[in-house]
Amino acid sequence: MKNSALTNPIAITLDTYQKEILQEWVREVKLQIKSAAKLQRPIIVNTIPVFLNKLAEAIDGNFFKDNANDSNNIAEEHGGERARITDYSPDQVVQEYVLLREITLQFLRERHEIEDHVFSIIQKSFDEGIQKAMMAFHLIFNEIRENVVAHMTHDMRTPLTAAKLSLDIILKRLENAQSEEAIEGIKSIIHRIKKNIKYSDELIQIILDEKYIRSYTQNTGDRFQEAELFSIVEAALEGLSEVISNQINVTGERVQGYWDKKALRRVIENLISNAIKYGYEDTPVEVKVFSVLGRALVSVHNQGKPIPVEDRELLFNNFKRTESAKNSNKPGWGLGLALCREVTEDHAGSLGIESSLEDGTTFTIDIPVDPRGIKIKDLG
């Protein structure tokens, strides 16, 4: 997506030739990095287009960015995707960044004299990007995957079973009660309770089974059906109240792909609801839908208090809320964004965040147009 707000000639060139830079980079990555040779282009491209967009903004100087990684987690998401989806080694993650830097500088030098301060921004952007990507890459491999929801649902089965047994006892005691009509009414209520408890128990078992299956199998894409992304966003808006939907501006393009429509709709609903919830009152929420080189993106932006850097990863942990969220007196369980990230990762993608005082907060769903058949590794 072109950025018409850029004014610096070098930044404009980087924005204009982004696709050409990416295409040459993909070719070189496939040639020079063994683990990338058989990867689909959208998987190689990953979050790099967004990184180049932020690099252009940093070079431009009018976007309050020190470098391309300022106020966002793009590099961390890149490293995380490489760990989850590819067979990359750490040195290969570094190598692809080095290749991208060389190709980017070559394109720019062919068209401009690069001043020292611009060169410094480019170098800092890539150096910091490598550092952040590598940290995320290692964290994914070394951390134990959170199983809070699975453990909780497992523990919930005990009180549900106890409740079911208690109801059985009540039914037996009712056998000696008087008034057939009263007894039948109570029995009807109790049977309804038992039915609901059984249904809850079945749902919990489904969750446990899904967690188990996903731990030992790779993603086959069976859940992914042909869909259109802009329509999924429109469907998400239908579930919101008229007052809220009038506050939302949706722009972009129609993007065809293969996804889990229900899951993506839930993610978009959650991100929009959060944008309304934590944004400044009566300020619009901007939703954009676009695609680049086999990647589909949905960004949700609001104007509100910035999310501190140290809190950004905390947002995606189950049952964790930032201090600012707790102090806002707005209800929440700390589950929504964790589930949002899980869905995007199930689609072989990422959920990015950028937040600053000047520009507000933007969450970006960044997924392949066709994730079917992409194998996601079991990391525990």
The domains of the chain are located at 9-142, 148-216, 225-368
Q: What is the pLDDT along the chain (380 residues), one digit of tens a residue?
A: 677 789 999 999 999 999 999 999 999 999 999 999 989 999 999 999 999 999 999 999 888 899 999 989 999 999 999 988 888 888 899 999 999 999 999 999 999 999 999 999 999 999 999 999 998 888 876 553 444 455 555 555 555 665 666 677 677 666 766 677 767 766 766 776 676 676 566 656 555 554 444 443 344 456 799 999 999 999 888 766 555 667 899 999 999 999 999 889 888 988 998 898 888 888 999 999 999 999 999 999 999 888 888 777 777 764 444 555 555 454 443 456 877 888 898 899 999 999 998 899 999 999 999 998 888 776 55
CATH topology classification for 225-368: Heat Shock Protein 90 (3.30.565)
* SS3 letters across the chain: CCCCCCCCHHHHHHHHCHHHHHHHHHHHHHHHCHHHCCCCHHHHHCCHHHHHHHHHHHHHCCCCCCCCCCCECHHHHHHHHHHHHCCCCHHHHHHHHHHHHHHHHHHHHCCCCCCHHHHHHHHHHHHHHHHHHHHHHHHHHHCCCCCHHHHHHHHHHHHHHHHHHHHHHHHHHHCCCCCHHHHHHHHHHHHHHHHHHHHHHHHHHHHHHHHHHHHHCCCCCCCCEEEEHHHHHHHHHHCCCHHHHCCEEEEECCCEEEECHHHHHHHHHHHHHHHHHHECCCCCEEEEEEEECCEEEEEEEECECCCCHHHCCHHHCCCCCCHHHHHCCCCCCCCHHHHHHHHHHHCCCEEEEEEECCCEEEEEEEEECCCCCCCCCCCC
- What is 9-142's CATH number, 1.10.10, 1.10.490, 2.60.40, 1.10.287? 1.10.490
* Domains 9-142 and 225-368 fall in the same CATH topology: no
